[in-house]
Amino acid sequence: MKKTKNIFLIIIVALLLTVPKNVSAITVTSWADASVNYIFNNHDVTIPRPGSLTVSYKTYPVNTYTSGNWLITQNFKSAAGPLTTVSYEDVDIVMSWSGIVSWSKFMVTETSFTYESIIPEPEPEPEPEPVEEWVVLKSNFHAHSTVSDGQLTPQQVVQMYYNHGYDVLAITDHGSYRQYDMALSTAQGLGITLIPGSEIIVHDTSSVSASEVLGLFITGPVSLTKDGDISKVTNQIHEMGGIAIVCHPTKTASFWETRTTTTLVDGWECPEYFPDLGYEDDYVFLRNHDFHNARQEYYLDNWYNLVISKSNSMEDIKEALLNNRVVYYENGVYHGSQENLELLNSIT
């Protein structure tokens, strides 16, 4: 093997190999004598946590009659600690070969690092469960105006409820929908959420008061029926995306007491008058006013519904009713399921 007498060093550009995150790369590209040893000095590599670091140098001879690369690997074991610096000095790259070769120099083209931790990556902290934020909305879902048999205009009804601190109101004139359109601008100006609704007959024998339901969240008028087939009315309400509530059932108790398990309605007024109804049933229970005139103004402070909702939007109020998140207040006493009473207490 011939050795070149003159030693010279030429730096050339080489591509970096991809290295793991947090492991610094060192690229060494140099010509050197085709001597047995080639020395690296004072290279430091920082690894993130205790583990094993492998440093690889890729070399190949120049002006050789044989082709191919030699891959020389130097292994290091890191010390303990959260951050470990591996320093290596005077690392010998030993060239070995077989067969007839002839070159004047060899090139170290790349240095790459492989890091393997001996400590598992810490699991990321789980995101905290979002905390539900509730609003409690003072509400009434049964009132009348001059559109049917009430004595105040729809706008005056809204103003009266606003004066008593209400957040939500439904004006449910008999067989009508237009009171909603008439009162909406006033309600929006006062910050009250106005729910479209109507009171609809489902049974009427003319010998007693008619049996009726409230259609809430409806999008138009609902046709009545007098034959007692409540599905004719409730189907219309539900097709509009509305909610059907049995209203003042004590007026026609003989009709409703045989229907306390019906799935055609979503809720009841005055549930306390029907022993078969309980908070474990899949109904929402409301204590509404059936408001008609100013003489009943004292109703507004003596009983009302407290809807536990995500917001005061119509969509969230409907969601709260469908999920029975309502407590009603009457003459100093709060009524509702134990779960809703505890939820209300935690909010207020």
- Using the 3D structure, point to which of 66, 88, 117 is the last residue of a domain: 117
Q: What residues make up the domain containing 62? A: 30-117
Tokens 């690296």 correspond to what residue?
A: 40
The single residue listed with the structure tokens 């077989």 is 98
Tokens of 97: 């070969």
The answer to whether 46 and 22 have CB atoms below 8 angstroms apart is yes
One domain for residues 219 and 257: yes
Q: Which of 56-65, 196-205, 293-302 has the lowest mean pLDDT?
A: 56-65
Nearest to 60 by CA among 48, 78, 72: 72
- Statement to judge: residues 197 and 280 lie in one domain: yes
Quote the CA–CA distance of 343 and 330 in Å, as a whole number: 18
**Count of other CB atoms within 10 angstroms of residue 318:** 18
Categorize the per-residue pLDDT at 114 as very low, low, confident or very high, splitting at 50, 70 and 90.
low
Contact 30, 108 (CB under 8 A): yes
Q: Are residues 307 and 202 in the same domain?
A: yes
Please write down the long-range contacts of 100-103, taking CB distance under 8 Å and 24 or more positions apart: 100/65, 100/66, 101/1, 101/61, 101/64, 101/65, 101/66, 102/1, 102/2, 102/63, 102/64, 102/65, 103/34, 103/61, 103/62, 103/63, 103/64
Residues 85 and 139 in one domain: no
User: Is pLDDT larger for residue 274 or for residue 252?
Assistant: 252
Mean pLDDT, residues 199-208? 86
Give the range with max mean pLDDT: 68-82, 200-214, 301-315. Answer: 301-315
Whether 36 and 92 have beta carbons less than 8 Å apart is answered as: no
